[in-house]
Structure formats: C-alpha cells, structure tokens
Amino acid sequence: MEKHFYKSSGISLITGSLLLIATMGLHPAGGSIEYIIKITKSITATHAMAIFSLPILLFGFYGLTNKLLDKYKFATLALFIMGFGLIAAMFAALINGLTLPYFLGKYENSIAENANTLKLITSYGFAINKPLDYIFIVATCLAISIYSILIVSSNKLPKWIGYYGISLIIFAIVGLLTGFVFTNLIGFQLFIFGIASWF
C-alpha cells in the first residue's frame, strides 16, 4: 500500500509540474484592456490549467511529506507552508486569470465610455495579484528549504535532490537581493521553471 501511495503521489508531483510548465509556456503577456479582452480564451485556459494543477501538486507533496516524516514533524510544517502558498497562487490565478477577463468582457462594446473605471479596476486587480505572487514565492521557497534540509539530513531520498533545492533557494535569495523582479511575466516564468524542475 505504501509503495503504491508513493508512486501515485510521485506521479502527481510530475503531472502537476508539467502542467505548471505548460501554463507558463502558454501564458500570454498582458497589455491594454482591448488586448486582454481579445485573448480572454487564452488567458482563461492557461489560468484554469494552473488552478487544476494545484491540488494535484498538493497531493504530491503529501506523499513527499509522508516519506520525509521524522519525530519533529518538520515535513508536516513544510506541507502546511506549501499549501498556504498554493492557496495564494490559486487566488492570484482566479483574480487575474478568470475574474478580470470575464469582467472586462462585459464591457467589450463600451470600453471608451468606461475607460477610466476599467483601468482603475484592472490596476487594482494587478495590485492584489502582486502580493499574492510574493506569498506564493516566499512560501514555496520556505517549503522547499525545509524539504531539502530533511532530504540532505536523511537517507530517505538521494541527497543531490536536497542540495539542488538549496541551490535554487540561494539563487532566489540572490535574485531578490539584487533587485530581480520575480512578479513580472519573465521573472515568474523563470521561478516556476526552477521550482518545477525540483518538484
């Protein structure tokens, strides 16, 4: 039973990671209100795929948590932190990827008359999205750090996975300290590709 559980949770991690990579690879760049309305189907599809990947990933991390459990239950802490970050990612995808295009689509034929209001609401949506992205980024980095330290300090998984995770977090910290922006499209893509490779 345990062997089958680890196999299914491992497949979930791989599947969720591939879905995240596909999401970021297909993710359209933002633009004007007219452009967002024009690519509504593409935005909705990519963000729906991202949301779909999150519970799959969480199940995968549940398996990893069980694999790395010790008497201190630090792996459970990592799971809670990861879950917190995935919830933030869900809300970010929901607001800017599903809600905003749907809302703007209602004004497709009256953009000029409502331009100021629509720009204000769009800016507000992006303002909400940014801290949610940072919550996801920080929570994911913390969880990966804990998992990686547990991997290095135990013999339950190959140690190189732990060292690779720690290296990714060091690069992320250096990026933040040097002013690299992780919340624009290219920065977020690089972050997702990096953590997905560890997943």
pLDDT(54) > 90: yes
At 125-175, the pLDDT tens digits run: 888 888 998 999 999 999 999 999 999 999 889 999 999 999 999 998 998
More reliable by pLDDT, 121 or 39: 121
List all residues 6 or more positions away from 61 whose beta carbon is below 8 Å from its beta carbon: 9, 13, 78, 79, 82, 83, 143
Q: Which residues of 91-127 are buried (b: 16+ CB within 10 A; e: fewer)?
A: bbbbbbbbebbeebeebeeeeeeeeeebeebbeebee
The predicted structure's pLDDT at residue 29: 66
pLDDT(115) > 80: no
pLDDT (mean) for 81-106: 89
pLDDT (mean) for 69-88: 94
pLDDT (mean) for 3-24: 91
The predicted structure's pLDDT at residue 60: 96
pLDDT (mean) for 73-92: 95
- Domains of the chain: which residue ranges? 2-198
Highest mean pLDDT: which range of 78-82, 151-155, 179-183: 78-82
More reliable by pLDDT, 73 or 125: 73
